Amino acid sequence: MRELMYRDAVLEALDEEMARDENVFMMGEDVGRIGGNFKCSVGLLDKYGDLRMKDTPISEQAIVGMGVGVALTGLRPVIELMFADFMMVCADQVFNQMAKITYMSGGQCNVPMVIRTPMGGGRSSAAQHSQSLQAWAAHIPGVKVVLPSTAGEAKGLLKTAIRDNNPVIFFEHKMLYTAKFNDVPEPGDDVCIPFGKARIVIEGDDITVVTNSAMTVKAEKAIHNLQKEGISAELIDLRTIVPLDTDSIIKSVKKTGKLLIVDEGHISFGISGEIALRIMPDIFYDLEAPIERLGTADVPLPFSPALEFPLIPDEKKIAAKMREMVKGA
């Protein structure tokens, strides 16, 4: 394993998959000449040419619609939307077309395409560029929803997504792009991470903490700090929420008796509530305390950092909630 920035791991996955399969190509705003808004496709235009690295007009509906069309012909488009918030602009193409064609055709048509898009707050980009819409995407049958939390996961899960014969929405947290991780396989190692299999980041006995994306990084730091207080937490990184690995969560909660779910989406109607209810029949009699959750407050994210940061779960909030659940208020 080697150290690499999250965005460079995404770039490696794209490069390796385009080299492996000539049917793989990219489309999006500024993906070619400037290498993507967050620099995840730098150099690919020079290497693969304009036919496989298509800079597009500023029209998310046209970009995704064209992706659906070419996917139906057998190509494997990777669409980059500059921000996850912009899925709303092309929602008809994403959720009425891309997600439903295989079902409506009785399996006669496949739509092997990936939508890559940055999610999350932390950059003070205001209410229309900072949302975490993974629960919204997961609510629509027909798409797989992926949220990598490390560079190694970003590379391995993206390779799996590109090879999948079904549409995948691939959320990359914008606050992770320049973070470095030491879990990336060597170049040429063709490591694909399977969907629907969570990662046990830290093993523990006192409480189970379930996270995804950047919340995994924050929770891991919080858990390491709490170890000094004698609190032993088990951290589960979901990796994908569609499909969802409930087996790993159930097994862990049966051991610890307590569960905290941390997701950056808004608290109401989110991933945390779905997980809690889905596993309840299997863990009800093992619980020693009510299931708790942390998420972003139910308000649009403000532009001001002083107002934005307190709304999003951070290491201190995660640690405080874990301490409360294990030791009591």
Place of tokens 């992770």: 176
According to DSSP, residue 146 is labeled: E
Using alpha carbons, select from 210, 211, 205 the residue that is nearest to residue 255: 205
According to DSSP, residue 301 is labeled: P
CA atoms of 233 and 220, how far apart (whole Å): 9
For residue 24, report the phi and psi dihedrals to the nearest 5 degrees: -85, 130
Computed from CA positions of residues 129, 132, 263, 147, in that sequence, does the dihedral angle turn out positive or negative? negative
Beta-carbon neighbour count of residue 65 at 10 Å? Answer: 17
Beta-carbon contacts of 51 under 8 Å, excluding residues fewer than 6 positions away, are 25
Q: What is the largest CA-CA distance in the chain?
A: 60
Please state, in angstroms and as integers, the Cα–Cα distance from residue 316 to each residue in 166, 202, 226, 320, 323, following that order.
39, 18, 10, 6, 10
Task: Specify the amino acid at residue 251.
Answer: K
Q: Is 129 considered catalytic here?
A: yes
Q: Catalytic residue among 129, 139, 224, 266, which?
A: 129
Place of tokens 């950056």: 264
For residue 279, report the phi and psi dihedrals to the nearest 5 degrees: -95, -10
CB 231 within 8 A of CB 323: yes
For residue 48, report the phi and psi dihedrals to the nearest 5 degrees: -115, -10
Which of the residues are catalytic? Answer: 129
